[in-house]
Structure 1
Amino acid sequence: MAKNMLYIALVGNPNSGKSSLFNCLTGLNQKVGNFPGVTVDKKTGFTYISDKVITTVIDLPGTYSLYPKQPDEWVSYRVMMGQDGQIQADVLVVVVDASNLKRNLLFASQIIDLKQPVVIALTMADLAKKKGIQIDLAELERELGVPVLSINPRKEKGIVELKKAIEQTASRIYKMPVRDFIPNKELAYQPIEELQALFPKASDYTAIHYLINHEHFNLEDSLQDNIEQIERRHSFNHTKIQASEILQRYNRIKHIMQVAVSEPNPHQQTLFTEKLDNILLDRKWGYVILLGVLFFLFQSIFWLAHYPMDWIEQVFSVLSAWLSTTLPQKWWSDLLINGVVAGLSGIMVFVPQIMILFGLITLLEDTGYMARISFLMDRLMRGVGLNGKSVMPLIGGFACAVPAIMSARTIENKKERLLTILITPLMSCSARLPVYVTLVGLVIPNKSLAGIFNLQGLIMMCLYLLGIVTALVVACVARHLIKFNGKSFFILELPMYRSPRWKNLVQTMINKAKIFVSEAGRIIMLVSLLLWGLSSFGPSKRMAEIEKRYALARQNAALPADSLEVEYKAAKLQNSYAGIFGKAIEPTIKPLGYDWKVGIAILASFAAREVFVGTMATIYSVGDDEEGLRLRDKLRMAKWPNGKPVFTLAAGISLLLFYVFAMQCVSTLAIIHRETQSWKWPIIQFTYMTTIAYLMSLLAYQILK
């Protein structure tokens, strides 16, 4: 049966529950991109609202009114005004927070007056009930003139009814209100009349917005000129019209609140949320609690992921050993074992940490604590030239610097936005996590302090904190070097505390694991196979000499067969293309404590940091005679020519510090170029981060060795 296609747009104030509704409607059937021409997230998905109708859902950026200021607000505004060439919504679903009804109704009433098909989805009714707020839905629907439904996306309540209302609204069973929410035409009678002569289908309120923002609309030059003439002819005052409109709307909303809403005495007992905020946002204890939360986060990454990691490593070790004894000694079996299997093990072993990290971050966001972190850190941010809005990109940097840098667009002040972009890559992203886990597990003993604190977890936390502290120091220095003027203000609405949505948490963990395996995994596998080739083949003359020399040695039985085979593989690796290149750069990195094999891994990971582990697995597998060993065991056995171990505590700490500070992500440099519209800042960023990485690693190794 052919199905009809509808396009619905979710709009509403920030923290109104819009994203929860989007996730509830679309589930896993969603994707994230950018709106054309702007670096603003576009979340789209699809859902069935009936047997006959499939709907594409667009989650528009949150905004407080129909007067946009930020780039993300302009995106929503253009869609609602029908000025977006890519998105034409059949129905606008306005998500309204029932616990903050008065403020949310301002935006909802503006959208209603655009005379487009609208459905009001009332969320957070449970929080409103806890506040003692009772809403008469039938009366509210009569006053607004559009369908009003109470929903709870977190528990999937009211979703069936919402889908039915969307279908009926799209089918025009629900009619748009004849009367405006306020008498819009009285705001500018003659200009509106003349504008509607140019655009006969425009409502009175739509006409006002054409008069105010027509310069931002995709209109012919002749129409732009006509609108300008209307404005000049009637001395159309944007500011006065807007102020008068807002005042009238709040007067009407006040009436609606009186007839449709029952509110408690404002002097009632302080709510649980406010009591909890008094503790979590305390000037002293708030920071102590925050450090405790971060400490628990990094302890959990080791504690919870320990067993699945060991199991995955064991599986790949057994598989590698079995393939080595089963397959014939051919080049393709070597490719399979030391290229494909080694690369896969470098991907899959870190899936548990990725899932746990993103699961815990989602938990913090879901409960409302993440917004408190921004509020708490505003004072510290201002001390280094940033503001509280910089916190969210920096926290996002723990996951991935690319979307984190894009999210800095919400920072109005140009200097603060640029500073945030320049320091965000110093946050230890999830791509660094596999490197940290491998090296910490290699050089730091797995023991407890005071019987409860895992030493490896403490070191992990210190690495993350080191990135944060360095970012703040860099920002403090850079604010004196970057010359931009302008003041900024930090305004943040703290969401209510909520119980986490476990379904959403699990869904996020699965999605992030899929992204890591599919996107990062592709790069790791590609580099692993490329490195296998570079490590297995070399200049024909060199390889021929090695084959001849060791063939003669086998005939003479100068050494035991096992020892001879180890020397043969080592000689082939050193004379391969990878070996030649590694030896060439070894003098540069040897002062840091690294041999040529580590140098190859560092250079390979400039494509993506997580490639380091796969590269090490491949490099040490190609030159290794012991099949079935875990990567950490192979690294422990690595020796310098003089017989000393490569991965000492000094070398391990040096390498960890290098990965804390170095800019090793081509994608991040590309997105910085896109956001700043210049190659100047990516070059500056790459230079200063690489310089810090080299000097800190050099200092650490020379002191600790």
Structure 2
Amino acid sequence: MEALIAKQTKTIAIIGNPNVGKSSIFNQLTGLKQKVGNYPGITVDKTVGALKNKEKQFHILDLPGTYSLYPKSEDELIAHRVLSGKADAKPDYILMVLDACNLERSFLLASQVMDLGIPVALVVNMKDLAEKKGIKVNTFKLFRETGAPIILTDARKNDGMDQIKSMIFEEKFAAPKTFLNLDGLLPQDLSGKIKSRFSLETDYQAFQYLVFAGYDLTAPAADKVWLTRQLVEFDCDIRSLQIAETNARNKEIELLLEKVVSKDPLPQRNLTQKLDNFLMHPVMGYFFFLALMLLIFQAIFAWAEVPMDLIDEGFAMVGSWIAETLPSGAFTDLIAEGIIPGIGGVVIFIPQIALLFGFLAFLEDTGYMSRVVYLMDRVMRPFGLHGKSVVPLISGMACAIPGIMASRSISNSKERLITILVTPWMSCSARLPVYIILIGLTVPDDLVWGMNLQAIVLLAMYLLSIGATLGGAFLLKLFLKTNEQSYLLTDLPVYRMPRWKAVLLTMFHKSKVFVLEAGKVILSISIVLWILASYGPSNLMDAVEQEKETALAQADEAESGEIEEIYASKELEASYIGILGKSIEPVIRPLGYDWKIGIALITSFAAREVFVGTIATIYSVGGDPENDLTIREKLAREVDPETGEKVFNKATAFSLMVFYAFAMQCMSTLAIVYRETKTWKWPVLQTIFMTGFAYLAAFITYQIFSS
């Protein structure tokens, strides 16, 4: 029975240019029946959905938006590998989505896809906008010229979706006519040799193998060598072949559209043109964008605070309930103090992630985000970044995790990698508690030029992170090499009202991906940290325990609470993580830190804000650890027993702030970098470099302020 079902399940690949409604159609067809995976050997995700009725089931594969099947980016490489059957099994059918308002551009990709010989159906989307622009498409003539079934749709309004589903279930896809004859472009002897070696059916399949020979890193070396030899033997230049093919296709497309498309005169001005006069202004456009980002940034903080607090309190209540209900012991402690906080450390990020991607989906759906990319490309490019890098970097000021996830929209692999590697240097909200407490300890509440000095120092920390981010990107630009050419090709679609269903779906799927993928790594490290902080060599732990029992026996009830706190600190010192803190003390002493601060550095790898709670516990401060003022007052009285000086003086505090500004002190960010790059190489190198740079910067800072 299972074999029969597998046999009946067929795969449909949806392909089209960016911003043609391809993903909207995919979401309409699949709903929540989607899952995210990755292509073998490729660092970009694939999204697969399911569509079925009582008799048949189809896998729907949403390919990245691309303008052609030329090797200019990883998107084109993925499309080539999928459609040639190199990444997975070759799809049974192709759903080609075209923009009714710009068929000339859409048909470059469509004509290439049709020449691959896979049964195809053409979906001409955005028919409502085409009608407003006076564009009319004769679908019967288009079908007669191409041989492919045609469906007119407006995916935003669900218009035409029933026809698409009916066509899929009835499998009315058709192998189209050959759009471009390659005779005269590709030597027939060469085409025949390639088709014979790789068991291909069409000349254009052979052409694609030849074009992508030097770009497909996952292809067998022997095949790449053989294809390169053929180029030399037949004296073929790939770039010249592509230019000749593009010119020939454009001529055929022009002849086709003259037959099937008619246009009425365009209106003089429309709303989109009026808005762009302001939003795309070379000066005011930047001011509007910055104001909008500030508004979103503040909204993420304000709106996420309540649900994040509720999640935090909820997990604390669950942990407390488990500790009180289950029998005492190591297993209960592991669940209550390790696993529950570990899961909570994942889930607590969901409000920020969901809200951020909700706002980005909103801006994308209105058509504004394409304009932001165009505006910022000129600013970002000298630093080795892309116009699309601005979204991840700004997102990183709330949290590096959604910022890194937002880098997927960057097609150039080098610029995407640079964006991923430098985004953690943007000062995120998790650093804010560290900054506020340390600034409050050491910076006087004075006015300078009418501004609060503490606020100026806090602003300086954010400016420092921005400068480091741009500087790091510039250095990576010099060292990272790639064969890809950097270019910006983006549509400026008309402004439209957002589709709330699509926004909510985006929020749901981004949150789901984060929890299921990054959560596995975060949970594992949380358990390890708990074990290291809860256990130690038996001789040391037993000695502390016996000493505590003796002290409790000699003390009255009023003193017992204080004694418990004191020996909790001693037990931590005797634990494995305490021993580790002692062992690294010689390394961190030049920065002005003692072994207790060293433990905070280690434990705050789980999350930067853990520093506050760890320091409060280590120094046995009483009261509510969430009360910043209480922590600040008691930490201010801490004295180094060896030197007699305050532990948290200006030099140490500033050194700590600089260290936290630059160090990779967040395992969830590390997990996301691994997930986005599909290798441990970059997160490991990133952690080593950022930690080394943080150490050097903190050392220089300490020397300056201690002199």
Question: Does the residue aligned with 2:492 lie in a helix, a strand or coil?
Answer: coil
Q: Distance in 2 between matches of 1:396 and 1:625?
A: 35
Aligned partners of 2:502, 2:492: CA distance in 1, in Å? 18
Cα deviation 1:660-698 (Å, max 9, x = unaligned):
3223565578689988x9x7x888755553344235556
**In the superposition, relative to structure 1, how do residues 442 and 35 fare at CA in structure 2: closer, same or farther (>3 Å)?**
same
- Which of 541-550 and 620-629 deviates more? 620-629
Deviations 1:151-176 (A, max 9, x none): 3333433222112223334xxx5543
- Is contact 1:346-1:613 (8 Å) kept? no
Partner of 2:126: 124
For residues 139 and 649 of structure 1, the distance between their equivalents in structure 2, rounded to whole angstroms, comes to 78
Using structure 1 for the length normalisation, give the TM-score. 0.78
User: Which runs of structure 2 are paired with 1:210-249 in the superposition (5 Å)?
Assistant: 246-249=246-249
2:25 equivalent to 1:18: no
Deviates further, 55-64 or 469-478:
469-478
CA contact (8 A) 2:548 2:567 kept: yes
Distance 1:229 1:470 in 2: 48
How big is the shift at 1:600? Answer: 2.8
1:224 deviation in Å?
Answer: 10
Which residue identity does 1:546 align to in structure 2?
V
More moved, 271-280 vs 101-110: 271-280
Q: CA deviation at 1:148?
A: 1.1
Name 1:91's counterpart in structure 2.
93
1:285 is aligned with what amino acid? M
- Note if 1:278 corresponds to 2:280: no
Q: Once the 2 structures are TM-superposed, how far is the Cα of residue 616 of structure 1 from its aligned partner?
A: 6.6
Q: Does 1:147 align with 2:144?
A: no
Q: 2:536 aligns with which of 513, 533, 538?
A: 538
Cα 1:464–1:390 shift into 2, 3 Å: same
Give matches, 1:189-228, under 5 Å: 191=189, 198=196, 202-203=201-202, 205-206=204-205
AA in 2 matched with 1:159: M
Of 491, 495, 498, the match for 2:492:
495
How far has the Cα of 1:489 moved from its partner? Answer: 5.5
Q: Closer, same or farther in 2 for the Cα pair 1:700/1:372, shift >3 Å? A: farther
Work out the CA distance in 1 between the residues paired with 2:697 and 2:457: 17
How far does the alpha carbon of each residue in 1:99-121 deviate from its partner, in whole angstroms, 9 at most, with x for none?
Answer: 21111123212322333210111
Partner of 1:661: 662
Matched, 1:53 2:72: no
Match of 1:7 among 11, 26, 39: 11
Cα distance change on mapping 1:378 and 1:369 into 2, 3 Å: same
Deviation at 1:322, TM superposition (A): 5.8
Q: Secondary structure at the match of 1:7?
A: strand
Maintained 8 Å contact 1:408/1:421? no
Assess, with a 3 A threshold, how the Cα gap between structure 1 residues 163 and 49 changes in structure 2: closer, same or farther. Answer: farther
What amino acid maps onto 2:497 in structure 1?
A: S
Give 1:493 shift.
1.9
Question: Distance in 2 between the 1:534 and 1:693 partners?
Answer: 25
**Aligned residue for 2:509?**
511
Counterpart amino acid of 2:309? Answer: D
Provide the residue aligned with 1:262 in structure 2: 262
Aligned residues: 678
Cα displacement string for residues 252-272 of structure 1 (whole angstroms, at most 9, x for unaligned residues): 433443343232335x42333
Taking the aligned partners of 1:216 and 1:426, their CA distance within structure 2 comes to: 26
Amino acid at match of 1:153: A
Distance in 2 between the 1:44 and 1:641 partners? 54
Shift of 1:295: 1.2
Question: What is residue 165 of structure 2 aligned with on the other side?
Answer: 163
Q: How does 1:153-552 map to 2 (within 5 A)?
A: 153-169=155-171, 173=172, 175-177=174-176, 179-182=177-180, 191=189, 198=196, 202-203=201-202, 205-206=204-205, 246-265=246-265, 268-318=267-317, 333-384=332-383, 386=385, 388=387, 398-399=400-401, 410=412, 417=414, 421-422=417-418, 424-428=420-424, 433=428, 435-436=430-431, 438-439=433-434, 466-476=464-474, 482=479, 490-496=487-493, 497-552=495-550
Residue type of the partner of 1:21? I
- What RMSD, in angstroms, separates the aligned Cα atoms of the two structures? 5.0
Q: Distance in 1 between matches of 2:133 and 2:577?
A: 67
Structure-1 separation of matches of 2:256 and 2:384: 44
More deviation, 585-594/93-102 = 585-594
Shift of 1:463: 6.2
Question: Which secondary structure state, in structure 1, belongs to the residue aligned with residue 101 of structure 2?
Answer: helix
Say if 2:29 is the partner of 1:32.
no
Mean Cα deviation higher: 615-624 or 141-150: 615-624
> Is contact 2:541–2:574 with CA below 8 Å preserved after alignment?
yes
Task: Measure, in 2, the Cα distance between the counterparts of 1:565 and 1:227.
Answer: 74
The letter for the 2-side match of 1:467 is: S
Q: Does the aligned pair in 2 maintain the 1:33–1:43 contact within 8 Å?
A: yes
**What are the superposed Cα offsets for residues 454-483 of structure 1, whole Å, 9 maximum, x if unpaired?**
x9999999866643332223344666x649
2:449 equivalent in structure 1: none
CA deviations 1:550-601 (Å, max 9, x no partner) are: 3233333367222232223232222222223223434654676766455334
Q: Distance in 2 between matches of 1:642 and 1:37?
A: 55
Aligned counterparts, 1:685-700, within 5 A: 686=687, 688-697=689-698
- In structure 2, distance between residues paired with 1:188 and 1:699: 63
| SS at 2:50 equivalent | strand
Is the CA contact (8 Å cut-off) linking 2:9 and 2:58 kept in structure 1?
A: yes
Residue type of the alignment partner of 1:47: A
| Cα distance change of structure 1 residues 312 and 103 upon mapping to structure 2, 3 Å threshold | closer
Q: Secondary structure at the match of 2:88?
A: coil
C-alpha contact (below 8 Å) 2:231/2:237 kept by paired residues: no
> SS of 1:51's equivalent?
coil
Spell out, residue by residue over 1:205-238, the C-alpha distance to the aligned partner (whole angstroms, 9 max, x if none). Answer: 55665777789998999999899889968x8787
- State the one-letter code of the partner of 2:78: V
Counterpart amino acid of 2:57? I
**What is the CA distance between 1:506 and its match in structure 2?**
2.0
Change (3 A) 1:241 1:421: closer
Cα distance in 1, alignment partners of residues 222 and 320 from structure 2: 73
SS in 2 for 1:282: coil
Residues 312 and 246 (structure 1), Cα distance of their counterparts in 2 relative to 1, 3 Å cut: closer
Read off the aligned partner of 2:60 and give its amino acid letter: V
Task: Work out whether residues 148 and 173 of structure 2, in 8 Å CA contact, stay in contact via their aligned partners in 1.
Answer: yes
Residue by residue, what CA displacement relative to the aligned partner does 1:512-532 show, whole Å, maximum 9, x if unpaired? 333444444444443343333
CA deviation map 1:301-332 (0-9, x unaligned): 22112222333344455556666666776555
Per the TM alignment, residue 629 of structure 1 is displaced from its structure 2 partner at its CA by 6.5
The 10-residue stretch of structure 1 (330-339 or 254-263) with the greater mean CA deviation from structure 2: 330-339
**For residue 71 of structure 2, what is the aligned residue in structure 1?**
68
For residue 258 of structure 2, what is the amino acid of its counterpart?
Q
* Equivalent residue runs for 1:562-573 within 5 Å: 562-573=561-572
How do residues 589-604 of structure 1 correspond to structure 2 at under 5 angstroms?
A: 589=588, 596-604=595-603
The 3 A distance-change label for structure 1 pair 406 and 671 is farther
Aligned with 1:87: secondary structure?
A: coil
AA in 2 matched with 1:564: I
- Quick one: which amino acid aligns to residue 530 of structure 1? V
Instruction: Name the counterpart of 1:450.
Output: none
Q: Is the 8 A contact 2:14 2:60 kept in 1?
A: yes
SS in 2 for 1:134: strand
Q: Which runs of no fewer than 5 residues in structure 2 stay unpaired?
A: 441-452
Corresponding residue of 1:112: 114
The structure-2 alpha-carbon separation of the partners of 1:368 and 1:634, relative to structure 1 and needing over 3 Å to count, comes to: farther
Shift of the 184–600 alpha-carbon distance from structure 1 to 2, 3 Å rule, reads: same
Aligned to 2:135: 133
